[in-house]
Amino acid sequence: MKKLMIGILGLTCLFALAGCSRTYANGEVYVYNWGEYCDPETLEMFEEEYDIKVIYDEYETNEIMYPKVEAGAVKYDVVCPSDYMICKMIEHDLLQEINFDNIPNSTNIGDQYYKMSEEFDPGNKYSVPYCWGTVGILYNKTMIDPEDTVDSWSILWDEKYANSILMQDSVRDAFMVSLKLNGYSMNTLNDDELEVAKDSLIEQKPLVQAYVIDQVRDKMIGNEAALGVIYSGEAIYTQRENPDLEYVIPKEGTNVWIDSWVILKDAENVENAEKFINFMCRPDIALMNFEYITYSTPNDAARELIEDEEIRNSEIAFPDLSQYNDLETFIYLGDEGDEKYSELWKKVKSE
């Protein structure tokens, strides 16, 4: 939403943990998550502690995940969708309400994240926050004109950076940038506003080196581009690899996203799914996953365990959102809204 992703998609890649021939006394749990969005060691630890086999598949985008879950070809128990997709799954009756009495570690999640989740999961009935972050601009200080201040989405339309701009190959993320630039909500369904955003993206297209997903990370580390739209978690990783990189949330506002654990309505291993989510909410496990994927944890108890004070207080990982204007979370816009955005995105890509 948006993550450290795998390149092989659509396959049922059973997560081959050590001792694959072992018999698990307490059954199994089927988990569907973003690529490389969990420390493999934590899955091994869960298996050892609960004697439950984890069958683990990965996906690259919400839009790839949804039809597979909807079709029910694989009977997943636990999935980790993003905000707007959770809303869609609730509306299409694909999720079951969570019994929080069976997930006591969910109290480690900060109240502010449950409050944010209310936007797509009213009453917090169906989801438990796993990771969160922002979308911003990653830029290379050595490749930016010293007279330019990188604080606005408008720099992604500056001709001096032609062929050195990376945009997200994602309809909602791309339109978010253009809508925010033009002063509109990223959840708008107003036809006039969407036309303006589409035209802006078409105008920008000759300047764009590539529309990317996870490739933005490696390209920016390798000094292949001056500017890239990126998720905050990936920005943390890239800065470790290339100290010339800086991350900024543009002044026009941006997307604050949340990825959360949910249990599918037709899950066959509900008790094991609850144990899995509860395990992932344990402070030490949440810390391991944060250190592995570098995406911000909403687990306040885990954050307290971060030994590196610079990381624990990082403005990228844990920004004070009250300092920014026009922050929004994606919401589900209905099937007609999805179709409208998709058609406009096709026009952008075909120009």
What angle, rounded to 10 degrees, do the helices at 191-204 and 171-181 form? 100
Closest CA to 298 of 98, 151, 80: 80
181 shares a domain with 147: yes
Closest by CA position to 221, among listed 244, 202, 205 = 244
CATH code of 168's domain? 3.40.190.10
- pTM of the prediction? 0.87
- Parent domain of 83: 28-131+258-318
Residue 20 lies in a domain: no
Residue 18 placed within a domain: no
- The CB density around residue 160, as the number of other CB atoms within 10 Å, is 11
Q: What is the DSSP letter of 214?
A: T
Query: Does 19 reside within a domain?
Result: no
Distance CA 126, CA 81 (A): 11
Report yes or no on 208 lying in a domain. Answer: yes
Please report, in tens digits, the pLDDT of each residue of the chain (351 residues total).
444 444 444 444 444 444 446 889 999 999 999 999 999 999 999 999 999 999 999 998 898 999 999 999 899 999 999 999 999 999 999 999 999 999 999 999 999 999 999 999 999 999 999 999 999 999 999 999 999 999 999 999 999 999 999 999 999 999 999 999 999 999 999 999 999 999 999 999 999 999 998 899 999 999 999 999 999 999 999 999 999 999 999 999 999 999 999 999 999 999 999 999 999 999 999 999 999 999 999 999 999 999 999 999 999 999 999 899 899 999 999 999 999 999 999 999 998
Residue 15 lies in a domain: no
